[in-house]
């Protein structure tokens, strides 16, 4: 009699079940990719995200000036801040710095904050969701009650509270945004794992004598990560907006020479009457970056949803 943990050739019925599941998973991935390529929203979102990442990475080569240079200092007065021109495409700020260069360098800050905060939040959330989804029972109850308490506070207010407690720094902003994402990832992974635990392939593996740890880590967890990946894309859009909001409130890094879109908006409030362009370009950059990740995330969600398969 064959041991439960031994798999034979492709003629073995148990091996055939595994191969059929792998083939189905592959077809789902190909179908999702095909629908993404045909979805205009996904294409637009991908192009916006690609543009945002390219600008952030290539900012030192794309920017005509350093973000701290003041090429127009002699032409700027409290009542006269030059707007867009042939020499300065986005105009100058109140200190005579090139606005285009600062917007381009500001993309680097937003990308760093978004990626680091996402990694922090997703890692902690996945661990909590894995514990709750794998063990269930009292472990699930404890983890979910902690998650519920974190979700009881609005996300932005939670981030403001955490950043204020940790102090004014870029690290504090990244930790604050990451902490607010923990309960979201935990609930999504936990719910997905609970659904996968009752599926046919998990029950079949258990009935064949496969250990519970192997079933969870090798079968249930990999098949539960699709919603987490989608949420990660959407969380990047939220992180960019939250980072701008915290910087607008003065909770980001203390160095005003470092360009950050939210701080740029905050610094231009008193100049809106005479230099409206100072608020337009950083605000537009925030909107486009967040829109790109949102469109891409929503398209991924629809592409990976079995209900949309023909």
Whole-angstrom Cα distance, residue 184 to residue 233?
13
Right CATH number for 39-72+84-308 from 3.90.1310.10, 1.10.3720.10, 3.40.50.1370, 1.10.3660.10? 1.10.3720.10
Least confident of 7-11, 144-148, 158-162, 226-230: 7-11
Whole-angstrom Cα distance, residue 32 to residue 126?
23
pTM of the model: 0.82
Residue indicated by tokens 């990626």: 115
The 10s digit of each residue's pLDDT in 84-114 is 888 889 988 888 889 999 999 999 988 999 9
Q: Are 79 and 143 in contact (CB under 8 A)?
A: no
Q: Higher-confidence residue: 71 or 30?
A: 71
Whole-angstrom Cα distance, residue 278 to residue 82?
10
The 10s digit of each residue's pLDDT in 272-303 is 877 888 889 999 999 999 999 999 998 888 88
The 10s digit of each residue's pLDDT in 163-203 is 999 888 889 999 999 999 999 999 999 998 888 877 777 77
Give pLDDT, residue 9: 39
Q: Are 244 and 261 in contact (CB under 8 A)?
A: yes
């Amino acid at each position: 009699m064959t041991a439960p943990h031994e798999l034979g050739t492709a003629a073995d019925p148990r091996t055939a079940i595994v191969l059929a599941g792998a083939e189905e998973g592959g077809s789902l991935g190909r179908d999702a990719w095909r629908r993404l390529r045909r979805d205009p929203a996904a294409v637009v979102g991908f192009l916006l995200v690609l543009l945002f990442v390219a600008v952030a990475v290539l900012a030192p080569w794309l920017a005509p000036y350093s973000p701290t240079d003041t090429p127009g200092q002699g032409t700027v007065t409290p009542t006269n801040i030059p707007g867009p021109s042939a020499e300065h495409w986005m105009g100058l700020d109140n200190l005579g710095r090139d606005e285009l260069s600062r917007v381009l360098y500001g993309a680097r800050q937003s990308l760093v904050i978004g990626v680091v905060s996402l990694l922090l939040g997703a890692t902690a959330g996945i661990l909590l969701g894995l514990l709750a989804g794998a063990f269930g029972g009292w472990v699930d109850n404890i983890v979910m009650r902690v998650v519920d308490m974190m979700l009881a506070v609005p996300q932005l207010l939670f981030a403001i509270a955490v950043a204020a407690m940790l102090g004014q720094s870029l690290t504090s902003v990244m930790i604050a945004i990451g902490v607010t994402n923990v309960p979201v990832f935990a609930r999504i992974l936990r719910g997905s794992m609970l659904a996968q635990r009752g599926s046919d392939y998990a029950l079949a593996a258990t009935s064949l004598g496969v250990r519970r740890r192997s079933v969870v880590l090798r079968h249930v967890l990999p098949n539960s990560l699709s919603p987490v990946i989608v949420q990660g894309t959407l969380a990047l859009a939220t992180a960019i907006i939250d980072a701008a909001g915290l910087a607008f409130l003065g909770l980001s890094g203390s160095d005003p020479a470092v360009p950050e879109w939210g701080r740029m908006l905050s610094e231009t409030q008193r100049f809106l009457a005479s230099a409206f362009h100072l608020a337009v370009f950083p605000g537009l950059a925030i909107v486009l970056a967040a829109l790109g990740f949102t469109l891409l995330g929503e398209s991924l969600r629809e592409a990976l949803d079995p209900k949309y398969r023909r």
